[in-house]
Amino acid sequence: MSAAHSIIKTVGITKVYGMGDIQVAALNGVNIDIHQGEFVAIMGPSGSGKSTLMHILGCLSQPTAGQYFLDGEDVSQLDKVQLASVRNQKIGFIFQAYNLLARTTALQNVTLPFLYNRVNPKTKEESLKKARTMLELVGLGSRMNHQPHELSGGQQQRVAIARALINDPVMVIADEPTGNLDTRSGTEIMNLLHQLHEQGTTIVMVTHDPKTAVHTQRTINLVDGQVDTITHNGKHRIETAEVPYEAN
Partner 1 sequence: MKPTEALTIAWEAVLKNKIRSLLTMLGIIIGVSAVIIMVAISAGTEATIQDQITSLGSNLVFVQSSMMRGGPGQAQQGGLVYDDAAAIEDGVTGVTAVVVEQNSSETIKYGDVTLEDVEILGTTVGFPSVRDMEISDGRYFNDQEIERKSKVVVLGYSLAQELFGETNPIGQYVKIGNTKQAVIGVFTEKGLVGNTDFDSRAYLPISVVFQKFTPSQFARFMGDSVRMIYVEVDPDANLDNIITQIELLLVKRHDVTLDSADFSVTTQQDIISTQESTTAAFRSLLAWVAGVSLIVGGIGIMNIMLVSVTERTREIGIRQSIGATPNDIRIQFLTEALLLSIIGGLIGVLVGVGGAYIFGALSDMRTVISVSSILLAFGSSAIVGAFFGYYPADQASKLDPIEALRYE
Q: Which residues bind ligand ATP (CB under 6 A)?
A: 17-18, 24, 26, 44, 46-52
Size, binding site for Mg ion by CB under 5 A: 1
Distance CA 6, CA 72 (A): 7
Please choose which of ligand ATP, Mg ion, partner 1, none residue 47 contacts, taking the beta carbon within 5 to 8 angstroms, the exact cut-off set by kind.
ligand ATP
Could you tell me the smallest distance in angstroms from the CB atom of residue 44 to Mg ion?
A: 9
3-state secondary structure the chain: CCCCCEEEEEEEEEEEECCCCCCEEEEEEECCEEECCCEEEEECCCCCCHHHHHHHHCCCCCCCEEEEEECCEECCCCCHHHHHHHHHHHEEEECCCCCCCCCCCHHHHHHHHHHCCCCCCCCHHHHHHHHHHHHHHCCCCCCCCCCHHHCCHHHHHHHHHHHHHCCCCCEEEEECCCCCCCHHHHHHHHHHHHHHHHCCCCEEEECCCHHHHCCCCEEEEEECCEEEEEEECCCCEEEECCCCCCCC
Choice between 46 and 142, CB closer to ligand ATP: 46
Please choose which of Mg ion, ligand ATP, partner 1, none residue 210 contacts, taking the beta carbon within 5 to 8 angstroms, the exact cut-off set by kind.
none
Could you tell me the smallest distance in angstroms from the CB atom of residue 25 to Mg ion?
A: 16
Could you tell me the smallest distance in angstroms from the CB atom of residue 30 to partner 1?
A: 17
Could you tell me the smallest distance in angstroms from the CB atom of residue 56 to ligand ATP?
A: 10
Choice between 48 and 108, CB closer to Mg ion: 48
Could you tell me the smallest distance in angstroms from the CB atom of residue 168 to partner 1?
A: 13
Please choose which of ligand ATP, partner 1, Mg ion, none residue 212 contacts, taking the beta carbon within 5 to 8 angstroms, the exact cut-off set by kind.
none
Choice between 61 and 199, CB closer to partner 1: 61
Q: Residue 225, class by beta-carbon neighbours within 10 Å (0-12 exposed, 13-18 middle, 19+ buried)?
A: buried
Choice between 39 and 95, CB closer to partner 1: 95
b/e map of 57-79 (b: 16 or more CB within 10 Å)? bbbeebbbebebbbbeeebbebe
Choice between 56 and 227, CB closer to partner 1: 56
Please choose which of ligand ATP, partner 1, Mg ion, none residue 17 contacts, taking the beta carbon within 5 to 8 angstroms, the exact cut-off set by kind.
ligand ATP
| 48: contact with Mg ion by CB under 5 A | no
Could you tell me the smallest distance in angstroms from the CB atom of residue 177 to ligand ATP?
A: 13
List residues near partner 1 by CB under 8 A.
55, 58, 60-61, 80-81, 84-85, 87-89, 93, 95, 99-103, 112-113, 115-117, 163, 167
